[in-house]
Amino acid sequence: MTRERSRLEHDAGPCLLPTLRQHEQHGLRFGRHPERISEVVSCLQPTHVEALLVGALGDAERAAVHRHIDRCSPCRTMLAGAARAKAARAYGRSSPVPARSMDLRMPRSGDVLGARFTLRRPVGEGGAGVVWEAEEQASGRLVALKILRSLDAHANRRFVREVRVATALRHPNLVPILDAFVDDDSGRSVLAMECLQGSSLADRLVEARGSLPWIDVGVVGIGIAAGLGAAHALGVVHRDLKPANVFVRHDAVATPVRPADVVVLDFGIAKLTADAGVVANTGALTRSGTLLGTPHYMAPEQVRAGAAVEASADVWALGVLLYECTSGIRPVEGVTAVDVSRALLQPRILPLGVRCPEAPEAFVALVGRMLDPVASARPTMGTVESELRRETALVGPERLW
C-alpha cells in the first residue's frame, strides 16, 4: 500500500473504503504524480483528487474531471470525503461559543477579531452581515472580513463547519477563503477572505446603464460556471448567486475581460450536500421561517416548502444573471418578494431572444435551458461552461468593458 493510498483511505474514512477498493479493482494505480487528463474514462485516481483540491490541474484537465464527477457518484463521494478531511486537517474543530457574557454590539473600527485581525473600515453591507477591510496583525496584509449578524450558537457552528469544507477547494474563480471562526468577544461568525481589488458585477451593470454586450456576459458566465462547477463537485451549493456576489478584478477595466478576472463571492448561506448533489434536509425555509436567497434569483424549487435544493438551483440563478446582464431585465419580476415567489411557482418567461435579438441563437437557447422550471432538465455547470466557451470562441477576442 503506497503512502498516497494510505492517506486517502484515512481521509475518506471507513465508510468510503469500499468505494476506494472498488476503484482499485477496476485497475487504478496510485502513482506519485497525476497523469495528464484529456478525458476521464475510468474512476479518478487519488492523485487526481489531490491535484484538484490544491488547484494543480489546468483548465482542460479540471473540466474533464468535473465532467466525470457529474456522472460518477462514487467519485463525487470520494472527492467530498477527501475535501472534508483536508479542511479538518487545515483548520481543526471550531471552538464552541463561550458561555460567558458577550458584547452584543456589532464590531467597530479598531476592534481585534479572532486575536488576529484589526478592523479598519467597512466596505460593504448586506442582509446577512457587514464586510470590513482589516489588517492581519502578524503579516500586515489586508483582508476582507465578513461579520455575520446572527448570534444563534447553532447557526454559528454550522456556518463555520460548512465554510471550512469550502476552503479545501482552491479555484481561481472562487473567492480565496483564509479562515472562518466565531469571535470569542462578540459571539459572531467571521469569514476571512482575500481582499480583492475591483468592483462587483452589480456595480458594472449600473455603470453600463443596465446591460452589457452578450459576449462580455458570456465570458463572465464562463468564470462563474467554472467556479461553481468546482464547488458543486465538492457538494457545495451557493444558493445566493446574483450580480452583487460576482466580483470583477480591476485589471478587467483596461484590458479585455477574461474568465480569470471573475470571482464568485459570499458562500455565507451555502449548503453542504450529503453526496455532492442533493442538499440534505433542506427546503425553502430556514428554522426561523425566512427564505434563503434573493427572491429574483431563486429557483422555483427554493420557494416550495419541503423541496430539495440541488446544484441545479445555482444553474437557474446563473441563467437569471445571464438574462439580466444581457437584456437589462430580470426574467421574473415582482414588486415584493412575495410577488416574485408566487411568480416563480409558475414562471412565464419571455425568451431572451425577444428582448435581445442580437444575441446568438445558441446563447439564447442555453439560457432558456438554464431557466427550465424542472430542475432535472437544466444543464450542469460543466455543460454551461463548455457551451459558453464554445459560443464566445466563435466571436473572437473578448471586448473591452
Residues with active-site annotation? 240
CA-angle at 215, arms to 177 and 328, nearest 5°? 85
Chain-centroid distance, C-alpha 243: 13
φ, ψ of residue 236 in degrees (nearest 5): -110, 120
Cell numbers representing residue 53 in the block = 483540491
Residues 6+ apart with CB under 8 A from 29: 45
CB neighbour class for 347 (10 Å; exposed up to 12, middle 13-18, buried from 19):
middle
In angstroms, the CA 392 to CA 397 distance is 8
29: phi then psi, degrees, rounded to nearest 5: -120, 130
DSSP-H helix ranges across 181-277: 201-207, 214-233, 251-254
- Burial code (b: 16+ CB inside 10 Å, e: under 16) for 73-86 equals ebbbbbbbbbbbbb
Measured between alpha carbons, how far is 322 from 328 in angstroms, rounded to an integer?
10
